[in-house]
Structure 1
């Protein structure tokens, strides 16, 4: 399984700099476990960041902002690293949730306590240590989610199944790295339910009146 949708370079740099919230970091770590390309990007950002830290001089602009901007600039200009080989596959327990998600949702898919959201749609919501929302969704095949946008950032990792939206086809292993400019309507693929997990740093934005009316009940 080779992901086709990856972390945004700004997310890579923020992760390498330790600037992401624990909630966002849990999604990033889940994606990195299965994505060689993004692991290479983080390693490159780590190397650039270390070099820049050694060169950094005191200035009036906040140090972290300067470092982040410089890392982004150098990351975009850097030559690709040599191809990296994925680590040997370890035995996989299909019932076990990814390790970074376990503090929020437990260890087992079978033990998840789903709440009803609508026909064929279920969710689990929890709040992370910095107040960000962690949201896991299980959507039956062929279901159309409400059109929605974002008041902040959303980072979504697809765990099982797949969906399509204006941004493309997202299957297990892919990550959707979305910002406040994105509005979309995911439609789950045929075959099996789509299970995905998201970190949100602000509530979603629904243009439809019904979704807006129900939104407080779901806490998203």
Structure 2
């Protein structure tokens, strides 16, 4: 697995600082299991954040210090040279039926045991609410299907577990992550041949321009 779509630097900084919700952190941790590039970036953010905290501790008000540290970490990450060796990933399971470990508290351990709910022709989902009140969605979209056009009223992190899809941002396949904000509006279209399974963390409802999707939104609570 060699992901081509990675976490946004701001998400990396938030994850390193422990500032993400548990639901967002679970999706990030799932991505980090298979992405050496992002594991290295998180390790750099950990090191940079620790050094900056040591330098600035007690020098500013807490709110100002937090904002300044965040900006400084992002600047240091942007200006960092070629990454070194990424921290080792957890040893992947040899069982193709086993879900990634960070998702076990929310969805269990097995793909086969997932209890899918019908969402539309060729589309199924599982919705769970995490400890912070954020939404985690597992989606299984059949090959060659078009999702409704939608935007986001908050942030969305979507990790591709199996299969692939295309949208205005490019081609996303197993191991890739889509790190989206409220500025993005897109329509994922799954590739032919196999269903696409992904997990998404949302900190706000989706925004649908189409009347049918808006009508059904309260039913599926997304």
The 3-state SS of whatever aligns with 2:19 is coil
- Determine which of 145, 151, 154 is the counterpart of 1:143: 145
Kept in 2: contact 1:17–1:68 (CA 8 A) = no
Deviations 1:10-29 (A, max 9, x none): 00000001100000000000
Q: Counterpart of 2:16?
A: 16
For 1:26, the equivalent position in structure 2 comes to 26
Structure 1: gaps spanning 5 or more residues? none
Distance 1:193 1:66 in 2: 44
Report the counterpart of residue 206 of structure 1 in structure 2. Answer: 208
Note the 1:108-187 alignment, pairs <5 A.
Answer: 108-187=110-189
Taking structure 1 as the reference length, the TM-score comes to: 0.96
SS of the equivalent of 1:33 reads: helix
Give a deviation string over 1:80-101, Cα, whole Å, max 9, x none. 2224486596552111110000
Which whole-Å CA distance do the structure 2 matches of 1:85 and 1:50 have between them?
17
Q: Do the aligned partners of residues 111 and 91 (structure 1) sit closer, same or farther apart at CA in structure 2, a change above 3 Å counting?
A: closer
- Residue 149 of structure 1 contacts residue 182 of structure 1 at CA under 8 Å; is this kept in 2? yes
- The TM-score, its normalising length taken from structure 2, stands at 0.95
Distance 1:43 1:147 in 2: 36
Kept in 1, the 8 Å contact 2:154–2:202? The answer is yes
Contact 2:39 2:87 in 1 (8 A): no
Equivalence map 1:52-91=2 (5 Å):
52-56=52-56, 57-60=58-61, 62=63, 63-84=65-86, 90-91=92-93
| Structure 2: 5+ residue stretches without partners | none
User: Secondary structure of 2:34's match?
Assistant: coil
Question: How many pairs are equivalent?
Answer: 220
C-alpha displacement at 1:74, in angstroms? 1.1
The answer to which of 64-73 and 47-56 deviates more is: 64-73
What is the RMSD computed on CA atoms of the aligned residues?
1.4
Which residue pairs with 2:193 in the alignment?
191
Q: Which runs of 4+ in 1 moved over 3 A?
A: 83-91
Query: For the structure 1 residues 50 and 123, does the alpha-carbon distance in structure 2 shift closer, same or farther, using more than 3 Å as the test?
Result: same
* Separation (CA, whole Å) in 2 of partners of 1:132 and 1:138: 20
Asked if structure 1 preserves the Cα contact closer than 8 Å seen for 2:150 and 2:209, the reply is yes
Change (3 A) 1:163 1:138: same
